[in-house]
């Protein structure tokens, strides 16, 4: 089993240029299927929203679909879907993305739509009130009306972090959402939705020269506006364990999640990457360390997962971030016992290293996941847009399987050794459901 499987690589071409107004563009053509993916990513996320305006970055994402310079409310949706395509957007800690996937013949339409809202969304009182209601329903569906809502992504950051940007609720409080104004939205757009603060990526079935011309034609007249200075959101690491416990009145079973800070994903990538692999060594499938021990042998958890970044976007997050483990337990489960076992397994890994073949098979599986994600045009356009935005290196998407394959046992062992209890933040959810 120790034989090393060759990890294949993709060779997606990458063309980059910057328009005179500062918009950065990435093109990655591929004629194998008659579809295109278009992604526009703005360098603003949950961490950038002002105090007293929790949830605002996400609310603003909704407003970007509510009409723009040449488009009435509802027109954006109808034009994308009426072209045979699909669309969405999402708000992350460090960026907000907007995207479409369409039949190839609709590329220019998608570029027109994105350029139109980059020039300016229609920010009206009526649309704002309507989307505040919609966002509140989204929060009810995903958090308030369901068991384990927001566990752990909304529950763990306030235990781990001290500063508002890192610790606050990214979905927002109803109070903050209700008091948002059109003036707030306009100020947010003016500050963060500058074309110098955005990247555009196009992947799929198109001709590079024609697409370049279209991009110049549609985005060239977006007024030049520079990016605001990028703040540092860093804060000191924990020096003593921090914990919180809460009761979820809808949850039938207990759960526990822990996080430890990891190196800067961008500034210190070489030291960061081993943690990405470590998360999989610990939790990817029945042959992983913690699943084998906690689920199968001890039966102290019913499921356990591990990943980096509170939203699972390990190659699209800036410093500070964390490696997370989250587990659901059987009735009467004991979070402390689970954590003690995790500590024991981490110590064993740090002391004894990996078994023969263990690293290679985990690397092979990560490669499959990475490659699979890039099979869709959006799976290339979106990460390339973010890699351009955050690192100026969209071609890194091709390199990730190989880079993962180069992580060594010594690096995994060293990473495991840093996950000490005193650097850990933990949140436990207690069942409050009457069963």
**Near another protein in 345-364, by CB under 8 A:** 357, 360-362, 364
Closest approach, Cβ 59 to another protein, in A, equals: 13
From the list 51-59, 195-203, 366-374, 418-426, the region that binds another protein by CB under 8 A is 366-374
From the list 14-22, 140-148, 189-197, 383-391, the region that binds another protein by CB under 8 A is 140-148
Closest approach, Cβ 275 to another protein, in A, equals: 19
Per CB under 8 A, contacts with another protein among 158-187 are: none
Q: Does 202 bind another protein (CB under 8 A)?
A: no
Per CB under 8 A, contacts with another protein among 82-111 are: 82-87, 101-106, 108-109, 111
The pattern of x and - marking residues 8 through 27 that bind another protein according to CB under 8 A reads x-x-----------------
Q: Does 376 bind another protein (CB under 8 A)?
A: yes
Task: Specify whether the CB–CB gap between 79 and 106 falls below 8 A.
Answer: no
- Residue 137 or 344: the one with the smaller Cβ distance to another protein is 137
The pattern of x and - marking residues 22 through 61 that bind another protein according to CB under 8 A reads --------x-xxxx--------------------------
- What residues form DSSP beta bridges with 86? 101
Q: Does 285 bind another protein (CB under 8 A)?
A: yes
Reduced 3-state DSSP string for the chain: CCCCCCCCCCCCCCEEEECCCCCEEEEEECCCCCEEEEEEEECCCHHHCCCCCCCHHHHHHHHCCCCECCECCCHHHHHHHCCCCEEEEEECCCCEEEEEEEEHHHHHHHHHHHHHHHHCECCCHHHHHHHHHHHHHHHHHHHHCCCCCCCCCCCCHHHHCCCHHHHCCCCCCHHHHHCCCHHHHHHHHHHHCCHHHEEEEEEECCCHHHHHHHHHHHHCCCCCCCCCCCCCCCCCCCCCCEEEEEEECCCCCCEEEEEEECCCCCCCHHHHHHHHHHHHHHHCCCCCHHHHHHHHHCCCCCEEEEEECCCCCCCCCCCCCEEEEEEECCCCCCHHHHHHHHHHHHHHHHHHCCCCCHHHHHHHHHHHHHHHHCCCHHHHHHHHHHHHHHHCCCCHHHHHHHHHHCCCHHHHHHHHHCCCHHHEEEEEEEECCCC
* Of 13, 129, 190, 270, the one binding another protein by CB under 8 A: 129
Q: Does 261 bind another protein (CB under 8 A)?
A: no
Closest approach, Cβ 410 to another protein, in A, equals: 21
Closest approach, Cβ 320 to another protein, in A, equals: 31
Q: Does 331 bind another protein (CB under 8 A)?
A: yes
Q: Please tell me the count of residues contacting another protein according to CB under 8 A.
A: 89
Q: Does 409 bind another protein (CB under 8 A)?
A: no
* Of 209, 231, 239, 286, the one binding another protein by CB under 8 A: 286
Closest approach, Cβ 69 to another protein, in A, equals: 6
Q: Does 300 bind another protein (CB under 8 A)?
A: no
Closest approach, Cβ 18 to another protein, in A, equals: 23
* Of 296, 332, 352, 356, the one binding another protein by CB under 8 A: 296
For residue 47, give both structure tokens.
Answer: 């961490």
- Residue 163 or 368: the one with the smaller Cβ distance to another protein is 368
- Residue 144 or 182: the one with the smaller Cβ distance to another protein is 144
Q: Please give the Cα distance from 394 to 392 (Å, whole number).
A: 6
């Amino acid at each position: 089993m120790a034989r090393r499987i060759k990890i294949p690589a993709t060779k997606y071409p990458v063309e980059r240029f910057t328009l005179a107004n500062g918009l950065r563009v990435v093109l990655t053509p591929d004629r194998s299927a008659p579809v295109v993916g278009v992604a526009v990513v703005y360098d603003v996320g949950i961490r950038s929203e002002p105090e007293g305006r929790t949830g605002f970055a996400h609310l603003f994402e909704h407003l970007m679909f509510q009409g723009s310079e040449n488009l009435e409310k509802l027109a954006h949706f109808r034009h994308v879907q009426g072209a045979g395509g699909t669309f969405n957007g999402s708000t992350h800690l460090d960026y907000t993305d907007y995207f479409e996937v369409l039949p190839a013949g609709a590329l220019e339409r998608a570029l027109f739509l994105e350029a139109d809202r980059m020039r300016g969304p229609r920010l009206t009182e009526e649309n704002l009130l309507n989307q505040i209601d919609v966002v509140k329903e989204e929060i009810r569906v995903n958090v308030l009306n369901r068991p384990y809502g927001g566990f752990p992504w909304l529950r763990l950051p306030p235990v781990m972090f001290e500063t508002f940007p890192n610790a606050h609720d990214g979905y927002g409080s109803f109070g903050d959402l209700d008091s948002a104004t059109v003036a707030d939205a306009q100020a947010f757009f003016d500050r963060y939705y500058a074309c110098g603060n955005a990247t555009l990526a196009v992947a799929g079935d198109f001709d590079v020269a024609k697409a370049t011309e279209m991009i110049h034609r549609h985005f060239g007249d977006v007024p030049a506006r520079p990016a605001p200075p990028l703040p540092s959101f860093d804060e000191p690491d924990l020096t003593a364990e921090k914990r919180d416990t809460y009761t979820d009145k809808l949850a039938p079973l207990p759960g526990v999640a822990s996080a430890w800070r990891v190196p800067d994903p961008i500034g210190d990538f070489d030291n960061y990457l081993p943690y990405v692999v470590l998360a999989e060594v610990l939790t990817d499938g029945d042959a992983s360390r913690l699943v084998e021990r906690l689920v199968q042998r001890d039966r102290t958890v019913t499921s356990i997962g591990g990943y980096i970044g509170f939203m699972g976007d390990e190659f699209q997050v800036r410093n500070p971030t964390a490696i997370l483990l989250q587990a659901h337990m059987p009735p009467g489960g004991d979070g402390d016992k689970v954590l003690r076992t995790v500590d024991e397994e981490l110590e064993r890994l740090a002391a004894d290293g990996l078994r023969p073949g263990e690293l290679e098979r985990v690397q092979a599986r990560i490669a499959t996941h990475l490659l699979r994600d890039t099979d869709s045009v959006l799976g290339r356009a979106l990460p390339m847009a973010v890699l351009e935005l955050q690192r100026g290196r969209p071609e890194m998407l091709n390199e990730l399987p190989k880079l993962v394959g180069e992580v060594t046992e010594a690096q995994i062992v060293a990473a495991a050794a840093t996950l000490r209890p005193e650097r850990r933040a933990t949140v436990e959810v207690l069942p409050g459901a009457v069963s």
